Structure 1
Amino acid sequence: MTDSNARPPSRRSAEDAKSVPDFYQAENYRAEESVGYMMRRILAAVSQQVELQMLCEPGSPTYPQWIPLHKLQMGTATTVAELARECLLDTGAMTRLLDRLEAKGLCRRVRSLADRRVVNIELTDEGRTAAEQVPHLLCRVQNEHLAGFSREEWEQFKSYLHRILDNAQALQARGEKNDASSS
């Protein structure tokens, strides 16, 4: 008879398991003390403050709208598909978001001359002006949330976050590799 609660064997090697810390223990686990929970709360607080700041400026983009404006301004995306990928949205949601930005006169869609299937997204003059304000607002809000940190603490904190992100990306890559090999 098999145990229905048995977990599948881990795909980690013994060497990987040795390098994984045991900071969290199920016996005394408290979600509000988890790194993920705290990061999510911080992200929500920063997002809410950015949204409030944007609402104070009439005609400014909404919180979800500033991200594609900023990505377009930085040149990290030029098509709907690239923008959706960069903003972590599906193409349908990105199309609806672009509809709203276009209605506000902040961007326009321009069909590629090289490949008519491709639609490029361009900022209008008003869109460029709005996008130029985004970094100022984001810096102000983030600096307010970092009150009390020294520059050294801020640099160290960022290095810790980069390490967590590197670990997350390695886990994701390993999971994608394992999914591909099991197909």
Structure 2
Amino acid sequence: MTNLKEDPGFQFYVASRLISQAYREPLEELGLTYPQYLVMLVLWEKDGQMVSQIGEKLQLDSGTLTPLLKRLESVNLVKRVRSEVDERKVEIELTYPGKSLQSKAQHITEKINGFFNTWDEKQFNQLNLFMEKLINDFKPNLK
């Protein structure tokens, strides 16, 4: 029988909670939840993406993503535009307030990076590579 410290999921659970807490306050100032913030990051990188593209990038299914998009639309940060060619396809575009929010969100990255200020670039890159491997290894087993 394993104990708490030997359980591999426990360390990820604690780390996830700590990182979520770090994001909570700055995101509340913007009126966003973390999942909504991730959608906005995807759209700030490239505006006018299909719902399926956003879902793929965030690894979210449409049942999870659609309520996020509806909420962002209800606060006028994005708008949904149906394809005239294929009504099943919906493109998500930033509104002017959604575009303007990007400059207000810059401090979030700086604040979160501050939590990693004792890490050198190599350690940070190793963490990212490890997390990417973990996600890629787990994902096929969870379908």
Q: Under TM normalisation by the shorter chain, which class is it?
A: 0.7 to 0.9
Offset of residue 127 of structure 1: 0.6
For 1:168 and 1:95, locate their aligned partners in 2 and report how far apart those are by CA, in whole Å. 23
Larger Rg: 1
Offset of residue 171 of structure 1: 6.2
Answer yes or no: is 1:60 the counterpart of 2:23. Answer: no
Q: CA deviation digits over 1:96-117, x for unaligned, max 9? A: 1111101100000111234332
Task: Specify the alignment match of 1:125 in structure 2.
Answer: 96
For 2:3 and 2:48, locate their aligned partners in 1 and report how far apart those are by CA, in whole Å. 40
Task: Specify the alignment match of 2:129 in structure 1.
Answer: 162
Identity %: 26
2:84 to 113, 117, 120: 113
Structure 1 segments of 4 or more deviating over 6 A?
none
Give the TM-score taking structure 1 as reference length. Answer: 0.63
Task: Specify the alignment match of 1:91 in structure 2.
Answer: 62
Answer yes or no: is 1:145 the counterpart of 2:115. Answer: yes
What secondary structure does 1:136 align onto? helix
Greater RCO, 1 or 2 (C-alpha within 8 Å, sep 6+) = 2
Please identify which structure carries the higher helix content: 2
For 1:167 and 1:45, locate their aligned partners in 2 and report how far apart those are by CA, in whole Å. 19
Give the TM-score taking structure 2 as reference length. Answer: 0.78
Supply the RMSD in Å over aligned alpha carbons: 2.9
Aligned length, in residue pairs: 143
Q: CA deviation digits over 1:44-87, x for unaligned, max 9? A: 211122112222x2x53222211111111112881222222322
Give structure 2 stretches of 5+ with no counterpart. none
For 1:106 and 1:167, locate their aligned partners in 2 and report how far apart those are by CA, in whole Å. 33
Whether contact under 8 Å (2:77, 2:97) holds in the other structure is yes
